[in-house]
Structure 1
Amino acid sequence: MLIHLQAAGTSFVLDARGPQPPSVVHWGAALGDLADDDLAALVSSAVPAVPPSSLDSAPRLSLLPTAADGWSGRPAFAARHFRTRSVDRPSPGSVLVSLAADGLEVAIEIELSAQGVLRLRHRLTNTNEQSYDVNSLNVVLPVPTRACELVDFAGLWAYERKAQRHPLRTGIWSRETRHGRPGHDDPFLMMLGTPGFTFDEGEVWATHLAWSGDKQLWAERSTLGPTVLGAGELLAPGEVRLAPGESYETPWTVAVWSGDGIDGLSARLHEWIRSRRAPLKPRPVVLNTWEAVYFDQSLERLMPLVDAAAAAGVERFVLDDGWFLGRTDDKRALGDWTVDPVRWPDGLSPLIEAVHSRDMEFGLWLEPEMVSPDSVLAREHPDWILGGPDAATWRHQLVLDLSVPAAFDHISDRIAALLTEYPIAFIKWDHNRDVLQEGSAHRQTTAFYRLLASLKQRFPDVEIESCASGGARIDLGVLDLVDRFWTSDTNDALERQHIQRWTSVLMPPELLGSHVGAPTAHITGRQGDLSFRLATSLFGHAGIEWDLTTATPADQAVIAEWVAEYRKRRALLHGGTTVRSSGDDPVRSVHGVVASDRKSAIYALVSLRAGGEAVPAPVRFPGLDPVRRYTVRPLVLGSPPRTLQDAPPPWLAAGSVTLPGRVLAEVGLPVPLLTPEQAQIFTVEAKY
């Protein structure tokens, strides 16, 4: 059987004529409607020559390449001679392949979405009479040899999503994470493209593992076979042991091709992610109390902040860490999820009633997967601690073993009790340490998923944020169970520009929390103008992480105006197509969102550091309809951005200009001479 899946400019061609496992003939640009004869000719003509000193048949990369098939690269599975049992088409955009070998069966699911996003996963079943240890089971996809430049990500706490680019030479570039969560250094999205690919130019193939535990992503170039991208869960020896009849299902590998650079990947991924979720209500403006008060909590301390939040137009007030029994600092009480009677003698009800009376939702911080050594829970149940009570602490805490049924039930019951007693609309779900227990990541991750799923089923209207000491658990695996991600613990606007730019390659901006911090960033100590902080936070799920009671009346008024602007424009910000300037310029960047009907757009010109040009290049506006005429205007958030110029560009001094979209995209407009760490916002509206 020859299979051709095609959607949204992407084709996937599979040679499933058996009995050997099927192989991918083409994954990339759409090939058009191929007649059966043309498809057969394509597959036949794609067979390469047989080189000397090699297998006596042409090299062939199957969907499950192993050494037994002659594949000398990193295998998808242990060496077995699998044979095809069946190939089915459950729908026009999907394929189900069944393989068998030596008491094992593998089912391979393949889907190509309407947006051109490819998903693959394996299900391994042990049909032996003895148990079987799964060491690895990976997805491996071929890409053309012209894809020879690679971008993936590194990072650390508060500095996530650091892009790293280099050529892919002969050999393997392998990234593995062993944090029990993806980690701040998560490779995130591995992109392999044609040389010099940018945000808007070049072909790019990319893979992401939809999994919140340990993982491996790799790219491999071989002299003996095709270049490949691979992905799979990273399993410790003995971590997954299948009894007779049991199965192991891999996480989905999400793969996407673009002929229009990195922005083309985002366009497909964002549209696909949005299509798979129930429409979110408009993303409410959030105020989170962490950097405002830290552990200094009481009704008297927080009431002025509640009033200030309401005056600013905040729609969701979130009480962060410090509300529960004995939690006076970060060294104690995790696991004791009971409201502290000293700080909150009447419980949380007075605070929640005050929040609700001011037309705001109430949210609460939790860290259910962790336990403090100094806690009632740890003292009463040391057997619930992963690795035991003497395991190494991280941020003064240990990991609660959710695979223990009693521990799972206890945490589930405590959260359910809180959600039943109090009208809580939102949970900030944190995870502040690596797991660091060999062989535990799989069971801990699957238990975490079960816990979220059970709570979602019982409390479907409660939204959950995935926070992992910032951005250490942002992936498509947990996305089915949460409603937002905390992008990073840093609210430094300059750092956030890089972090949000790259995190939004995969995740739509409405899922990425982006807050206005204090004038002096708490983590970096950098001072930032309010206008720059507001411009940075506008492009995401906007919020505030700042004690507004300390802001001047003028700044409070500016924040209220910014909130109103965000609320006015969030349908565009959260429903349009994300676009970015061509390269990853260390001096300045341009990013924006274009409405799906291309009648409106909003862009930010960001000055990151001092440049080397007296007159920088014009700003271009990608993504517009080339035929429509648009009016471009500056949008001031608070005070105008700082500039160093004797005179602005005349069009900017005039307040607007109207030009065709093609001119704005290809020629652009002269820019104000921004000083470092400033941003100019532009609105673009079609004339017809």
Structure 2
Amino acid sequence: MLDARDARPPAVVHWGADLGDLPAPALAAIADASVPAVPPSSIDVPLWLPLLPSFTDGWSERPGLDGFFTDRSPVSFRDWSTDAGAGWISVTADGPLAITTRLELSEEGVLRMRHTVVNRGTSDFVLTALDLQLPVPDRAREVLDFSGLWAHERRPQRGELRQGAWMRESRHGRPGHDDAFLLVAGVPGFGFRGGEVWAAHLAWSGDKRVWAARSALGPAVLGAGELLGAGEVTLAPGDEYCTPWLVAVWSDRGLDGLSDRLHPWIRGRSELHRPRPVVLNTWEAVYFAQDLDTLGALADAAGAVGVERFVLDDGWFTGRRDDRRALGDWFVDAEVWPSGLHPLIKRVHDAGMDFGLWVEPEMVSPSSQLAAAHPDWVLGASGGPTWRFQRVLDLSRPGAYGYVLERLNALLNEYPIAFLKWDHNRDVLTPGVAHAQTTALYRLLRELRVAHPDVEIESCASGGGRVDLGILELVDRFWTSDTNDPLDRQSIQRWTSVLVPPEYLGGHLGDKAAHITGRTTDLAFRQATALFGSAGIEWNLLHATPGERDAIAEWIALHKRLRELLHTGRVVRADTADPAQLVHGVVAQDRRSAIVAYVTLDAPQAALPAPLRIPGLDQNRLYTVRPLLTGAVTQDAPPPWLASGSVTLPGRVLSEVGLAMPLLKPQQAALFEVSAA
């Protein structure tokens, strides 16, 4: 609800629960009744928090706009005008700077908001910040966001929203492994299935800031904006700048309620038109040890178990024998591949799979031929630090941009490549370049998609370092994390899928001993974890036993049978009292079927764990529950219903009373299929 009636700058009166179809007099009465008192020792008119708050409004917290004209002329706004259509409204503040704020509200209840500024003055305008803010009510006293590390992304952190600002900044040139990701403010104690929450996400792949703040004046806000370096964006007369979109969502049904709005909205904008193929990626299978005989045999083994896409990872281009050289020299290595990639691709196609290729176009090795020929294309001082022994290629330079575009087009034109795994393995670590680098990346991806509309692209940034809704408009998959350890993956996938639908989140079946953590886990636990999402394999199947290959083939067949449900249904998560136990699943949109996972991360707190209560079912419908997969147990006898093979009960009973569970050992899972009786 936006109040744009008077000469004052427009302000959001309410965003949250639907207030119904109210007539204009009622709307005016609500807005009038929301005007606060004037407290002592304050501005002498009621506090007004507009879309672009400033000191002139009596707002002494973070302003919406920060910057200056180089001739020092004042920044002022003469008047405001509005325009509206179905599901959107725009508000323009006119003056030497013209700023238009566009708000869009989707049918799913997702609010998008961004500013566009145009310099109508006579001198340059140095833009320091142009941020987006939305008010949240006083009862939103608890805040949730995320941090993390490489291979340990999306670690939730919660706390009280006190007076002052909880500010998170990303200065990586990408969101980073510690990305705040989704900022949530809610009533204390909100969970997955309950509590009122307000959430914000900045759809941007570069530097950014997000914050939640409670002012001593009373109001609280969620805010976000691109984090600009000094002089990074300077607008000449006539130039314009658009902020990234702020994506905001409200729910009175906890975090799952956010997903219930975000997932259908994202799916409605999706360009995924066919089932997500089961992938085998060669990285943890062979690393840099590439040759046709080994990879051809691996392709045959992958095809035999039902894999649908074979992705050749790092190591295929000229001189690339380890991670210390050759980035930027994007030519197929004639020594390793004397006939090019054609013989391998033929083996892949003969095995019934399409072919994908790993690239890292934004990076360059200091010892590469490209860096030697064009040292001016490399960002940062020549003596500056490398990261994974590599530097960043300056895509804002036309020559560098054109070279990368030409090389990628050449590869995609010569070879039948269906998929690019697009990596970004280091922080940028150069001031004042993140905006230009990110906008150049977006332009590059758009050009490639126009030239090769059937090629799918995965966003990988040393795992999950670039997972955001800005780049999701240009890619088809995220590599959720570099770790394939199922114990870590359970948490990473759980929290990432609050924002992103599971079909976009790559999750792979790894080796028995996880390559990154060294932890050993059972095949059943790895299968149960990788089943949800865009499934794949990161394992040298040539080293798997015949029994393991049979089990993998059965798992892939199961995933394919359930894939439509897994990739179109509602993601549900239960709030469990025991932190050692997780419950999550996917319920069909018509609520006639579901897949539910019961997971033990560690030793339970009690000898007899709490029953499995299945969220999201139709309370009045009868369902039959059957086990699909059960991990290792420590028990003398299973629950009787499980021994009999199934049970049929109403949805209300399954969600409120639940089912007795097998006594799973730590790091195990049980999967259940739920079908309308």
What TM-score, normalized by structure 2, do the two folds share? Answer: 0.98
Alignment check: 8 A CA contact 2:272 2:476 kept: no
Q: Which amino acid aligns with 2:323?
A: D
Q: Is the 8 A contact 1:382 1:388 kept in 2?
A: no
User: 1 CA distance for matches of 2:626 and 2:385?
Assistant: 56
Counterpart of 2:80, as a letter, is R
Q: Partners in 2 of 1:118 and 1:351 — Cα distance?
A: 47
Q: Quick one: which amino acid aligns to residue 226 of structure 2?
A: E
**Partners of 1:369 and 1:487 in 2: CA distance:** 19
Alignment of 1:667 with 2:662, yes or no, is: no
Paired with 2:92 and 2:289, the residues of 1 have a C-alpha distance of 59
* 1:396 partner SS: coil
Give the distance between the partners of 1:583 and 1:390, measured in 2 at CA. 52
Q: Does 1:88 align with 2:76?
A: no
Q: What's the counterpart of residue 652 of structure 1?
A: 642
SS in 1 for 2:209: strand
Contact 2:507 2:536 in 1 (8 A): yes
Question: 2:204 maps to which residue?
Answer: 211
SS at match of 2:482: coil
Is 2:578–2:604's contact at 8 Å kept on the other side of the alignment? no
Residue type of the partner of 1:92?
A
State the Cα distance separating 1:83 from its structure 2 match.
4.6
Contact 1:199 1:583 in 2 (8 A): no
Shift of 1:73: 1.1
Secondary structure, aligned partner of 2:210? strand
Pick the aligned partner of 2:7 from 19, 25, 31: 19
d(CA) in 2 for partners of 1:85, 1:303: 65
Cα distance change, pair 286–584 in 1 and its aligned pair in 2 (3 A): farther
Q: CA deviation at 1:81?
A: 4.5
| Secondary structure of the corresponding residue to residue 135 of structure 1 | strand
Whether 1:339 aligns to 2:332 is yes
Q: Which of the residues 430, 441, 448 maps onto 1:448?
A: 441
Residues 38-69 of structure 1, C-alpha deviation per residue, up to 9 Å, x if partnerless? 11111111111111111111111000001222
Choose from 377, 386, 389 the match for 2:379.
386
CA distance in 1, matches of 2:639, 2:605: 19
Asked if 1:433 corresponds to 2:430, the answer is: no
1:357-506 matches, within 5 Å, as 357-506=350-499
Match of 1:312 in 2: 305
State the match for 2:71 in structure 1.
Answer: none
CA offsets 1:367-409 (integer angstroms, 9 cap, x no match): 0000000100000000100124333211000000000001000
The separation in 2 between residues aligned to 1:280 and 1:538, in whole angstroms, is 20
Tell me how far apart the structure 2 counterparts of residues 108 and 584 of structure 1 sit (CA, whole Å).
Answer: 44
For residue 615 of structure 1, report the CA deviation from its aligned partner: 1.1
The equivalences for 1:26-65 within 5 A come to: 26-65=14-53
- SS of 1:29 mapped into structure 2: coil
Cα distance per residue 1:505-553 (max 9 Å; x no partner) = 0000000000000000000000010000000000110000000010000
SS at match of 2:627: strand
Closer, same or farther in 2 for the Cα pair 1:49/1:461, shift >3 Å? same
TM superposition shift of 1:128? 1.0
Of the structure 1 ranges 507-516 and 577-586, higher mean CA displacement relative to structure 2 is found in 577-586
Is the CA contact 1:220–1:229 (under 8 Å) kept in the aligned structure 2?
yes
Task: Give me the TM-score of the superposition, normalised by structure 1.
Answer: 0.96
8 A contact 1:21–1:82 mirrored in 2: no
Partner Cα distance (2:230, 2:652) in 1: 57
Which one of 77, 98, 104 corresponds to residue 65 of structure 2? 77
Question: Does residue 144 of structure 1 match 2:132?
Answer: no
Q: Which amino acid aligns with 2:202?
A: L
Q: Distance in 1 between matches of 2:593 and 2:604?
A: 30
Which residue in 1 is equivalent to 2:550?
Answer: 557
Q: Provide the secondary structure at the position in 2 that maps to 1:630.
A: strand
For 1:190-220, what per-residue CA distance to the aligned partner results, in whole angstroms no more than 9, with x for missing partners?
0000010000000000000000000000000
Alpha-carbon separation, structure 1, partners of 2:103 and 2:78: 18
Contact 2:580 2:604 (8 Å CA) reproduced: yes
Percent identity over the alignment is 62
- Aligned counterparts, 1:46-195, within 5 A: 46-78=34-66, 80-89=75-84, 91-101=85-95, 103-195=96-188
1:339-387 CA deviation, whole Å, 9 max, x = no partner? 0011000000000011011110000000000000010000000010012
Show structure 1 runs of 5+ residues with no match: 1-12
Give the AA of the match of 1:97. Answer: V
RMSD: 1.0
Distance 1:584 1:97 in 2: 47
Letter in 2 for 1:93: G
What residue is the counterpart of 1:236 in the other structure? Answer: 229
Provide the secondary structure at the position in 1 that maps to 2:394: coil
After TM superposition, where is structure 1 displaced by more than 6 Å over at least 4 residues in a row?
none
The CA distance in 2 between the partners of 1:584 and 1:241, in whole Å, is 52
Conserved in 2, the CA contact under 8 Å of 1:621 and 1:664? yes
Deviation string, structure 1 residues 438-494 (Cα, Å, up to 9, x no partner):
000000000000000000000000000000000000000001100000000000000
* Residues in 1 aligned to 2:79 and 2:491: alpha-carbon distance in whole angstroms: 46
Contact 1:198 1:583 in 2 (8 A): no
User: Any idea what SS the aligned residue of 2:642 has?
Assistant: helix
**Equivalent pair of 1:59/1:225 in contact (CA under 8 Å):** no
Alpha carbons of structure 1 residues 508 and 584: separation in structure 2 relative to 1, 3 Å: farther
What's the counterpart of residue 520 of structure 1? 513
Q: CA deviation at 1:100?
A: 2.1
Quick one: distance in 1 between partners of 2:272 and 2:171?
34
Cα deviations across residues 554-601 of structure 1 (Å, max 9, x unaligned)?
000000000000001100000000000125852010000000111100
Is the 8 Å Cα contact of residues 66 and 78 (structure 1) preserved in structure 2? no
CA distance in 1, matches of 2:651, 2:299: 44
Write the mapping of 1:566-577 to structure 2, written as runs, cut at 5 A: 566-577=559-570
State the SS of the aligned residue for 2:123: coil
How many residue pairs match? The answer is: 670
State the distance in 2 between where 1:57 and 1:582 align.
45
Structure 1 Cα separation of the partners of residues 205 and 252 of structure 2: 29
CA distance in 2, matches of 1:169, 1:584: 27
Q: Is 1:633 paired with 2:645?
A: no
Residue in structure 2 matching 1:682, options 661, 666, 672: 672
Deviation at 1:627, TM superposition (A): 1.0
For 1:654, the aligned partner's letter is: S
Amino acid at match of 2:86: P
- What code does the residue aligned with 2:109 have? G
| Contact 1:20–1:83 (8 Å) recurs in 2 | no
Query: What SS class does the counterpart of residue 310 from structure 1 fall into?
Result: helix
Answer yes or no: is the 8 Å Cα contact 1:591–1:605 preserved in 2: yes
